[in-house]
Structure 1
Amino acid sequence: MAREFSTHGYITHKINFNGGDRFYSGADHCMDYTGSVSQWPDFLESYLLKHQIRAVFLMGDCRLYHRLAKPVCERLGVQFMVFEEGYLRPDTITLERGGVNDLSALDFSLIGLASASSQRLSAEVPMPPSMSHRTRYAALYYWAAWFQREHFAGYQHHRAFSPVVELSLDHK
């Protein structure tokens, strides 16, 4: 997404929390965050102000660093945009301002759902089944994260931080 934004004239930034993030960095400006979790909100605030960032895009909002970023963005008036992860719906992606799932601002009450309007948009490029691509992507991500874990010593992952555990069918 950063590359696409860049081609349209936007300057993009990416903060890497681990080697997997670094492996897939595609922004104009990338930096490794190697500080502690407790230092993260102050670091993020300083970074956003220094670079005049107007919007932050995240994949999922349940990760510790993402949860800590939300109040910083709200305080500074920076748009907090979250892609939902975890659903396997073909040709569909969800992006919400402020959060998804439990943190979604959408009204999921029966009245809210009954009064909601929806519009189905066709994808410009249909997305074929992608489990093999996602498996390769995840394997490379976790191996890169694993081999660079000493550089990101303060990083706290939201799940088991092992390529073997993550790729097993039996992990929780």
Structure 2
Amino acid sequence: MRILFLQGHPSFFARDLGRALMARGHHVQRINFCVGDWLFWRGPECSFFRGSLTRWEVEVEALMRREAITHLVYFADRHPYHLAAQRAAQRLGVISVSHEFGYLRPDWILVEEGGQSAFSHFPDQLAVILAATTALPPPDMTRLYIHPFWQEALQEVAYNLGNFLLWPLHPRFVADRAHVPLLEYLAYLPRQWRGRRAAAPARALVAARLADDAPFFLLALQMQGDYQIRHNSRYRDMRDFVREVLGSFAKHAPGTARLVVKLHPMDNGLTNWARVVRTEAAAAGIGARVDFLDGGDLAALLGRAAGCVVVNSTVGLHALQAACPVKCMGIASFDIAGLTHQGPLDSFWSAPERPDCEGVAALVRLMAAAVHVRGEFFSPQGRAAAVNGFVRLLEAGLARPFGAFTPVPPRLKRAQAEGISTEPWD
């Protein structure tokens, strides 16, 4: 293989992966765009792109043609540089390979051709998934790799602050972030303090919901800057999602039902979601029936909830594994007839479709085998395991040998119907 690496996760994972591939005789090149890229991978196989984003697609296509590149590897499939490179790769027949935090996290890294969600080639028909998993064993979901949070935070800060402070070294680089890194990091300080204060009330709220006979539904918030919100849903702002779900719940949920709105554990605190939820619940006339939860035991909630509403969060996949009905409001690889609620949101509150347990088990088996590798980005042991798995999967042909590859991503039509850009497929 002749592999071109673009931007990776802010860790040494991409560097280790590239060097492992070189050790096995594959040709590897890496393009750095900014100081943060250089911090985590530098060497003779690396070069800098200092031109403008408008020139990037032409130049990367020329490079791939000149170097006879067979594979393009990147982290975050919707990043503007990666999207432009995908368009060029598609014209040349180069296989694009995206990696991300796994759907089955923690301890798993996602490896998919093209991208995730709307751009995933993973099958969307339960019969296909069941047929492909007859000989696959269930994956071991025991957590093996743990790293201290400070290590993750330090590498993330080093990457982004390096770019922020040394921007004159790459003035044309376009950082595709929803928030200015420095502002986001400063916001995390009071957010961490509030999170610690909220721990005890969160435990009490979870205990109260579990002890109450009244049914409750869970609404899982996602982070505003998440690519899955910005590029795999019709929501430009999570407030719109909250408003829509609360409005539907007010009109169509049984009068005895409650709604628990759970904050994302890594929320940056730039939006006061507790206030947003209180305001929207009061406007919908259901203030007394809506709880806001910062923390708490998610597994315990999913085991008891009458249903879970997500945009496309992996919380939905965890809910399916807990036999909890799920309604997806965005594009998700696990949003499949027979597993998730396929009717409108308004019908979910009174008649949620329950997941087929055999189908969920088959989905997890195929996802683990075909589009995941075991490991993580941070701890040396977890990184080494993930690198070895990535190399094996890449050399074997990714998801194709498992029967888990659909030539045209099967969720594109739905994305287009919802007004979502489907580059490079549109």
Q: How big is the shift at 1:104?
A: 0.5
Q: Give 2:153's aligned amino acid.
A: T
Picking from 98, 112, 116, the partner of 1:96 is 112
Q: How big is the shift at 1:131?
A: 3.0
Equivalence map 1:4-15=2 (5 Å): 4-15=20-31
> How many matched pairs?
171
Q: Is the 8 A contact 1:90 1:129 kept in 2?
A: no
In structure 1, what is the equivalent of residue 6 of structure 2?
Answer: none
In structure 1, what is the equivalent of residue 18 of structure 2?
Answer: 2
What residue ranges of structure 2 are gaps of 5+ in the alignment?
1-16, 189-267, 272-426
Q: Give 1:52's aligned amino acid.
A: A
TM-score when normalising by structure 1: 0.84
Picking from 147, 161, 165, the partner of 2:183 is 165
Alignment deviations for residues 39-80 of structure 1 (CA, whole Å, 9 cap, x no partner): 011110111122222111111101111111111111111110
Distance in 1 separating the partners of 2:43 and 2:118: 29
Q: Give 1:126's aligned amino acid.
A: L
Q: Is the 8 A contact 2:102 2:109 kept in 1?
A: no
Task: Verify: 1:138 aligned to 2:156, yes or no.
Answer: yes
Equivalence map 1:20-169=2 (5 Å): 20-26=36-42, 28-85=44-101, 89-117=105-133, 119-120=137-138, 126-160=144-178, 162-167=180-185, 168=188, 169=268
Distance in 2 separating the partners of 1:55 and 1:80: 6
TM-score when normalising by structure 2: 0.37
Of all paired residues, the percent bearing the same amino acid is: 23
Distance in 1 separating the partners of 2:83 and 2:137: 30
Distance in 2 separating the partners of 1:95 and 1:119: 19
Q: Aligned in 2, Cα 1:88/1:113: closer, same or farther, shift over 3 Å?
A: closer
Distance in 2 separating the partners of 1:27 and 1:101: 34
SS in 2 for 1:42: helix
Q: Is the 8 A contact 2:161 2:182 kept in 1?
A: no
Alignment deviations for residues 139-161 of structure 1 (CA, whole Å, 9 cap, x no partner): 11112212331121111111057
Distance in 1 separating the partners of 2:94 and 2:84: 14
Q: How big is the shift at 1:26?
A: 4.6
Distance in 2 separating the partners of 1:60 and 1:148: 23
Q: How big is the shift at 1:129?
A: 4.0
Q: Aligned in 2, Cα 1:115/1:130: closer, same or farther, shift over 3 Å?
A: farther
Moved over 6 A (4+): none
**Structure 1 or 2: larger helix share?**
2
What residue ranges of structure 1 are gaps of 5+ in the alignment?
none
Q: Is the 8 A contact 1:36 1:155 kept in 2?
A: yes
Cα RMSD over matched residues? 2.7
Q: Give 2:117's aligned amino acid.
A: N
Distance in 2 separating the partners of 1:18 and 1:57: 17
Q: Is the 8 A contact 1:146 1:161 kept in 2?
A: no
SS in 2 for 1:39: helix
